[in-house]
Structure 1
Amino acid sequence: MVSKTGRWITGAGVGLTALMLGSGVAHADTTVQLPDGEQALTTASGVQVDLTRTGEQAVVAPSIAGNGLSRTASVTGVVFAKIGNATKGMLTTGYLVGCQVDLSGGLTLGGDVWVSPNSVSPEIAPSIKLVPGGVTAVPLDTKQLDPAAGAVGIAYAGRGIQVSGCGGFAQARAYSTLTVANQQGSTEVTLYGQPFSVG
């Protein structure tokens, strides 16, 4: 789990600039409370799945560079799955992010260095290129199912998403994909969240 007090470090010439997400001017940030979601079913191979997302919220902020082409969001949520009659499984959660008009020749999502107070070293978030009007998946974490426990979960807090070079509308939407299997076969179940504007 990542603390809400994590920070971004971005390179600027020969210096470094530290940005505390959510700690800027109060009126400039927008907090979006997002609804809980659930996907409950029994697969064709007889695996019982109850996949939920709770406590999701996003804090959207304008660029500290003061231009209209960049913006950031920090996201929080808990994804949990109860699974019966499975021998193995994997849970991946993240966000789908898209930009209406890309003016940079590519869209960078979380391309800086993310530092968590709970870790001893920075986490390098991926840089992903998008064509105009494109959408990409930005995974946050992946966990393997413990069949003995019959459950798997991922909690994240204050995880950063950075959108740069976006000249139009940008939007993000949570996704959580659970793959489960037993001797009869495997099934993939995906739970989507409510879309929200990143500016």
Structure 2
Amino acid sequence: MVSRAGGWLAGAGGVLAVLTLGSAVAQADTVAPLPDGREALTTATGVQVDLTRTGEQAVIAPSLAGNGMSRTASVSGTIFAKVDNATKGTLVTGYLVGCQVDLSGGLSLSGDMYVSPSALTPELAPSINLVPGGVSTVALDTKQLDPAARAVGIGYADRGIQISGCGGYAQARAFTTLTVINAQGSAEVTLYGQPFSVG
């Protein structure tokens, strides 16, 4: 018997959809631990940044829609940034997802999706068409820098990514972008994760 949520996703063919899933991953078949990442530098505006991603992993599960055109991944990780000499800052983290595309080369982004982590029930975010050869952005969370603490962090566990309408190879890659502002201007620092197969 197909659950209400499963039927909802199965009807979203040709689009990329994101669900906030519970902590349990049913019938998971592949666990992919991913390497930690770090970007430490001083920006042109004089802001010192130490941005890290730790504990990242992806669990690739059978399709919720029960067909070869759909696949599901559940992702976890911890993002933390130490920042000196900034008055404001914003940290955004998520995943780049593509169908039959190599994410190790150039990246082309189109659109954003967001599911509030405070949502009481799983909900379908606004959909994005994922055309062959294209890459879409799934934004998981956004946090503001605390200038007094000189730090900002985001943790996520078992956040679900459902890809529909992809008949070929699918791949995903974590990204985190930190925007910092001070009297000299603004600067961005982006940390990418290792690409992994979503089937």
> TM-score, structure 1 length as denominator?
0.79
Partner of 2:92: 92
Q: Percent identity?
A: 71
User: How do 1:36-47 residues align onto structure 2 when only pairs under 5 Å count?
Assistant: 36-47=36-47
Are the equivalent residues in 2 in contact too, given 1:115–1:123 (CA < 8 A)? no
Q: How many residues align?
A: 173
Distance 1:190 1:76 in 2: 18
- SS of the residue corresponding to residue 146 of structure 1 reads coil
Partner of 2:5: 9
Higher strand share: 1
Please state how far the C-alpha of 1:119 moved relative to its aligned partner.
5.0
Distance 1:89 1:115 in 2: 20
Distance 1:115 1:59 in 2: 21
Please state how far the C-alpha of 1:63 moved relative to its aligned partner.
1.1
**CA distance change for structure 1 residues 115 and 185 in 2, over 3 Å: closer, same or farther?**
closer
**CA distance change for structure 1 residues 157 and 198 in 2, over 3 Å: closer, same or farther?**
same
RMSD: 2.5
Question: Which segment drifts farther, 57-66 or 43-52?
Answer: 57-66
Please state how far the C-alpha of 1:66 moved relative to its aligned partner.
3.0
The aligned amino acid for 1:188 is: E
| Contiguous gaps of at least 5 residues in structure 1 | 1-7, 13-18, 102-108
Please say if 1:23 is aligned against 2:19.
no
Partner of 1:75: 75
What's the CA shift string for 1:60-110, capped at 9, x where partnerless? 012144321111000000000000000000000000000028xxxxxxx98
Please state how far the C-alpha of 1:115 moved relative to its aligned partner.
10
Please say if 1:156 is aligned against 2:152.
no
- SS of the residue corresponding to residue 9 of structure 1 reads helix
> TM-score, structure 2 length as denominator?
0.79
Distance 2:43 2:37 in 1: 19
**CA distance change for structure 1 residues 66 and 115 in 2, over 3 Å: closer, same or farther?**
farther
- SS of the residue corresponding to residue 128 of structure 2 reads coil
